Structure 1
Amino acid sequence: MSFSSSDEPAAPGLLSAITALRTAAENADGEALAGIVASDVIFHTPLTSRIRFEGREEVTALHRDIFAVIEGLSTTEPLTRGDTGVFTFSGHVRGLKLEAMNLVRVNDHGKIVEFTIFARPLPALATLFATLPPRVTARRRGRAKGALVAALATPLGLALRTADVLVPRLI
């Protein structure tokens, strides 16, 4: 079910862009993004505010990486207002369930110009942090730097997965 205010209808192309994005996610088809994102698209990751991905080629490549590490993605119907829509999605990262919300904004041509992802729970997000950046770094900067990023990020994922098991027993 979509929500639109009667005084601010959804922008032209917003629902079709979100539908195409949801289909791409559910089919793990990163290449499909090239046709629905603007050339100057910006992707804000939930992993850090220090990095954002810009441009059609980089955001499409990033989604190939995302779809390779998050398994079994499923999405929900969007809520829309003006040029912005949101929908939730879930999947698994190394066996942990990840739940997230995707905030999408489109331009006047119905192309996605901005993504912002919010994700939970923390152990799954940390596992994503330990899994995705090494892959992206290896693609962008080489295998050695990808291995370095993995060495730096992996302990965080392990620590939070362990804490997630032990801390609730103590509370």
Structure 2
Amino acid sequence: MSVTGHAAPVASPTAKTLAALSAAGESGDADAVAELLAPDVVFHSPMTTRLWFEGKQEVTALHRDIFAVLDNVVTIEPLAVGDTGAFSFRARVRGVELEAMNLVRCNEEGQIVEFKVFIRPLPGLATLFAALPPRVSARRRGRLTGVLVATVARPLAFVVRTADRFAPAFL
């Protein structure tokens, strides 16, 4: 006797990695992210094309910093095609909401080799800019550099958030 029916779809290595990355993001677990990274992973900054983070250790440390400043991370169903995958998420940073899209490329083993993040709206990105780079700078270059970066970044975030409140009334 045979039973006919549809076989359950087999998840690709990229799809499995995305699902695990999504879960790690929601739980703020940088160690779980580390398990998904290739040794030569590259993380491109969402804030500038002039900066990227290379290597499993550095990208893991960056995720510790990211998870320290983001609150209430909620991810949306991931999408994987071939070696590339994406999912979006919502979060709050210093009380300001942001939306982001993670775009990753994986190797044959499903390890992440390239990571890009795109963030909107501008007030959310600006607030993240005021929160994250000072923390990363302090970790990488010392507390004084972190304070200097914060001194430059915080006024920019304030101006962008203020403009966002008033500009729509004039459009």
Tell me if structure 2 keeps the 8 A contact 1:74–1:90.
Answer: yes
User: 1:73 corresponds to which letter in structure 2?
Assistant: V
Tell me if structure 1 keeps the 8 A contact 2:15–2:79.
Answer: no
Which residue does the alignment assign to 2:29? 29
In structure 1, the gaps of 5 or more residues are 1-9
Please give the per-residue CA displacement for 1:78-102, whole angstroms capped at 9, x wherever unaligned: 1111100111011001111100100
1:49 counterpart SS class: coil
Instruction: Please state how far the C-alpha of 1:11 moved relative to its aligned partner.
Output: 8.6
Instruction: Please state how far the C-alpha of 1:169 moved relative to its aligned partner.
Output: 2.2
Please give the per-residue CA displacement for 1:15-70, whole angstroms capped at 9, x wherever unaligned: 11111111110001111111110000000121111000110000000001101111
User: 1:34 corresponds to which letter in structure 2?
Assistant: A
User: 2:168 corresponds to which letter in structure 1?
Assistant: P
Counterparts of 2:85 and 2:126, CA distance in 1: 26
Larger Rg: 2
Which residue does the alignment assign to 2:19? 19
Counterparts of 1:110 and 1:169, CA distance in 2: 47
Which residue does the alignment assign to 1:118? 118
Counterparts of 2:31 and 2:142, CA distance in 1: 22
Which residue does the alignment assign to 1:82? 82
Q: Count the aligned residue pairs.
A: 163
Aligned-residue identity in percent: 57
Runs of at least 4 residues off by over 4 Å: none
Q: What is the correspondence of 1:40-79 to structure 2 with a 5 Å cutoff?
A: 40-79=40-79
Q: Structure 2 length as normaliser, TM-score?
A: 0.92
Please give the per-residue CA displacement for 1:115-154, whole angstroms capped at 9, x wherever unaligned: 1111100011011001100000001111000000001111
Q: CA RMSD in A?
A: 1.5
Tell me if structure 2 keeps the 8 A contact 1:11–1:110.
Answer: no
Counterparts of 1:50 and 1:115, CA distance in 2: 15
Counterparts of 2:81 and 2:19, CA distance in 1: 15
2:109 counterpart SS class: coil
Counterparts of 2:109 and 2:80, CA distance in 1: 16
Of structures 1 and 2, the one with the larger relative CO (CA 8 A, separation 6+) is 1
